[in-house]
A and B are shown apart, each in its own frame.
Chain A
C-alpha cells in the first residue's frame, strides 16, 4: 500500500541528488514557517513539508528520526528538529533548527496570553478551538497512514508489522497504558525480532 507517488528509494544511504537546506538562514526560516503552520501539533506539517514538498528526508528517515525523538526524553518535535538540523549542518544546524522552531512561536504565544483574558469567555473561541482540535487529530492520523507505506520494505514483514502496530494502538489509544512501558515492552520485542532477522554486518 503506497498511497503516494514514490518519494524515495527503498534504502537511501546517501542519495547524491538529495535536496538540502541551502544555508543556516534557509534552515531557520523553514523551521519557523513549519512551526507557524502547526496549530494543534507541528508533526503533520513537518512530514508534509520536509518529506513531501522539500524532500530533505525520505519517509524511512522520517520514521527513524521520529522513533529516536519519541524514545529520548524531551519535547518530541524539538528533538526531531534538532536531528534534522544536525544532519544538514552539524551542531550549528541543530541549534538553528530548534531556535527556528521555538523563537517566533514563543513571541506569538506570549502575545496570545496577553490577549486571552479578553476573549476567553466568547463561546465562539471555545468552539473554534474544538473544531481545530478535531482537524488536528485528522492531520496526525493521515501522517500515520502515509508513513505506513514505508513499512512495506521493513525487515519484519507486513504481517508482523500490522500485528505489532495493532497491539501498540490498543495499548495506547484504548487501554491508555503509559507510553514508557509500551515502548519498552512492545518496542523492545519488535527490536529483538528485527535483530534476529537481520544478517550481521550487511545491509537489510
Chain B
C-alpha cells in the first residue's frame, strides 16, 4: 500500500469526472475494458485522483467478482470518492461514473437495435447479420485465446492451457453447471496445482 490520497473535490471536479466518462462511453467499442488505458491516463496520471495500486486493485477485484466486467468502472469511481471524503462521496463516485459510462452508449445501442428490428427485412440489415456471424464466432475464440494466454505462454504454463482446453470440452459436450468448473479451477489454483 502506498500512502493514501486525500482529495478536496469541488463541483467542477465531479462534473469533470462525469463528462470524461460520458465521452469514454462513446469510445468504448469492443467493451468497457478497452477504455482502461485511457482511464489510467486520466485518473492516475493527469488528475492524480487515484494511486496506481488503487487502479490495479479495482480492475483485479472486478475481474474476480461475478458480473459484467464494466463494474471495474464503478470501483474506480468508488475509490475516487473514498479519496475525496468517505462512503457518501464514494457512492456519488459510483453513481456518476456508471451513469456516465452507460447512458450515451446504451441510448445509442437501443436506438440502433430498435431500428434494426423494425427494418430486419432490409437487404442491408440481413447482410449485416449474415456477414458479421463468422466474425462474431471468431472473436469469441480469439477472446478465449487472449484470456488463456494472459496466464502465461511459456511451456511451464501447460497446466493452465490444459485446464482451459478441458473446461472448453466439458462445456461443449456436457450439461455440467458452469459453477462447478469455476469452482474446480479456483480449487486447483488455490492449492498451486496449476
- Please report A residues at the B interface, Cβ cutoff 8 Å: 3, 35-45, 48, 60, 63-79, 82-83, 86-87, 91, 94, 98, 101-102, 104-106, 108-110, 112-113, 116-117, 120, 123-148, 150-151, 154-156, 160-162, 164-169, 172-174, 176, 179-180, 182-183, 186-187, 190-195, 198, 200-201, 204
Contacts and interface: CB of A to CB of B under 8 A. Distances in A.
A70 B137 contact: no
A110 B94 contact: yes
Contacts of B134: 151, 154, 156, 160-162, 164-165, 168, 190
B33 to A, nearest CB: 9
The 5 A-B residue pairs whose C-beta atoms are closest, nearest first, are A74-B105, A131-B189, A105-B67, A138-B167, A144-B140
Majority-rule SS of A interface residues: helix
B68 A132 contact: no
A120 B59 CA distance: 13
Nearest to B30: A179
B191 to A, nearest CB: 7
Interface residues of B, number: 98
Contact of A180 (B30, B74, B150): B30
B119 interface: no
A42 B68 contact: yes
B106 interface: yes
Nearest to A44: B178
A65 B128 CA distance: 11
Nearest to B33: A75
B108 to A, nearest CB: 6
Contacts of A35: 66-68
